[in-house]
Structure 1
Amino acid sequence: MRFSEEFRDPALAEKLFTEIARTAEALARTRTRPITVMEVCGGHTHTIFRYGLKDRLPDTIEFAHGPGCPVCVLPMGRIDDAITLARRPEVMLTTFGDALRVPGAQGSLLQARAAGADIRMVYSPLDALELARKNPDREVVFFALGFETTAPSTALTVLRAAREGIKNFSLLCQHILIVPTLRALLEQPDFAVDGFIGPGHVAMVTGTRPYDFVATTYNRPFVVAGFEPLDILQSLLMVLRQLESGQAKVENQYARVVPPNGNPAALAAMRQVYETRADNAWRGLGNIASSGLQLRAAWSAFDAERRFPLTPHNVPDPASARCGAVLTGRIRPAECPAFGRECTPDAPLGALMVSSEGACAACYDYEGARQVA
């Protein structure tokens, strides 16, 4: 049996579906509205839609698709900042492939490349550093995206560039943090989420302890989960059992990968290289205090925002694409008026339709034909 098959076993799935239904039925007797569970990570959203998990769940359970896809919460103005840098003749802009199609007010990076800007897709910041080595006459800028999952690799790349004395490499830093974002969601008075399926990949770096406040301060169950179908189902059952018992705690379903204290080396690299931004803009969510990372002054030589004259762009989200309402669980993807009409994967209006981990893209890919009225 291959490793993945162990976590896709139909017989085990049936047992979990049965127990989920039993627990949900017991909970429904004491409630007047459905149980809403937010899966924080876009990878979880993709698994839920791809395997049709929600179609087998009782009507008394609803998923809310959270803000755990870094491309999906990328502000339009930040795309315009990247395009402005890429249009400089001396700059070679590099970034991950799923960022190329995100729309900004000036179009996408893919469109800017078609118009002549030197924009290249890379698979890691080390690929961007290698381009800087091979092109000493160019300024190679890495548009750094991602949560705590990818921030350590960028930090380690900066440290390597410094050790090697590579001076034509810099970052446009858009790394973001999930913990202050969850706190901002929970502070909203109308946030009607009963529990969380927590981000497994982020927790590989952070560990589980940073999420204790979700249970202790806000009295919501929080279960760090893996990404296979059985991981999601087991984690959902763990959330439901906490609700049934009246408990709220942090549990680790993904213990085969996630240690309680996270990855000390990764966390140390982040502390050495980054500091938090006082305010950080999110698409659909507005400014969230201390939710983004920037380079410390000691590493300013690698900061593209300090190296090049750059006036940040502030661009409002398109009014018709209700990304913020989807990200906070207020509506489902298909309830957005632009879904499947003016906003599709081929012509995305909102960022949730761009990335394969975006809630709207997953919904469209696996349920599009029956969701668009």
Structure 2
Amino acid sequence: MRKSLPADKPPWEIILVQNNKLLKQQQQQQQQQQQQQQQQQQVFEVWEWRKYSTEEERATAKERKGFTDVERHCIIIRAEHSIGDGVSLVELGLRLLTDERGIVLNEVAEPPVLKAAAAAAAEHFCLLPTPTALLLRLIASAAPMSLLLLKQIKTAAQATLNDVFVAAFTGAVRRYCELQGDFQFSSCKPNKLPKALLACAFYRRTAGLPNSSPLLLRNRFTLTPLSLPVHCNDPKERLKKVKQAPVYFCGSEVTELQVVYPNLIPQVRVHLTLAAVCCSPAPRHVLQQLQQQQQQQQQVEMRMEVEVVSYADRVFFSFVFDPAIVVDGHKIPSLFTDEVYRLADAFGIPRPPQEAQHQQQQQQQQQAAAAK
């Protein structure tokens, strides 16, 4: 059960806890003990350099001797909404204290130096949809679908599950507009396509990877405004366009609002280093990085929330919408399911038996209505 957050608090919170020094007497005792230990033996931390993925990281990690007599820090992250699993959140916290090669940064006495990195991480949560209780919105859900069917579509299309979900939702948006008598997407120009904030992950060395590499997109993510190919009527072509969007983004010069770690900017070639984001009804949060190359402000207002959850080999789709904007939003989940089955038909994948019977009954009813 969701509970609304206080209006004066954002839906995320990052706390940097520094170990305070002990009393002067205890410090003196520890210093004396450390001096005695250092005289007897030299203490090093053990680094498992064999676990690093590349030769460069292994070579650098092998040379590390670790830190001794350094105050440690603890990062606590609380988020009402998250697009990463627990492991990703732990990695996110670790990235705040490491450079692009995974090496621990030089620690300093004053924690405020880490504020820029903490703001970069917090911006991920700031851009996420605010809790449903804060707005007068409704939720509509679709009947659970088979995860195996979606995996078959993924394999046949050589895409990811996220690509399949985005393509199906894009088709659902197009059909919803057509049902409302709005055919603006039938002849929509590419530069007029609607955009959605999608979670895109970037590998640290995308420059040397081919577009088909499975390492191109990983679970280190950023929220990226990508165009939805609603102008494509064919579901197969629509999925192809969805697949190309993140790959094109990785190799392009991006000037729109992006939230990335400072050490990833050279890899993804993003020039924006200062952004002001307003996520209604959350307060304004400012992300400011150390090296300013360009300044830009953009208002981001989340109007709807789409969630796809996989559990027990079933996929559950839910859609949170504002009825003042999306009049018949309850139709979108069923349209999403229909678009998934259209993708299955396009790739020659048989539908589940129950869905096949339901489709056959609908065809018979349509034929009977046409005969009358």
Q: Same fold (TM over 0.5)?
A: no
Q: What is the TM-score of this pair, normalised by structure 2? A: 0.27
Q: What is the TM-score of this pair, normalised by structure 1? A: 0.27
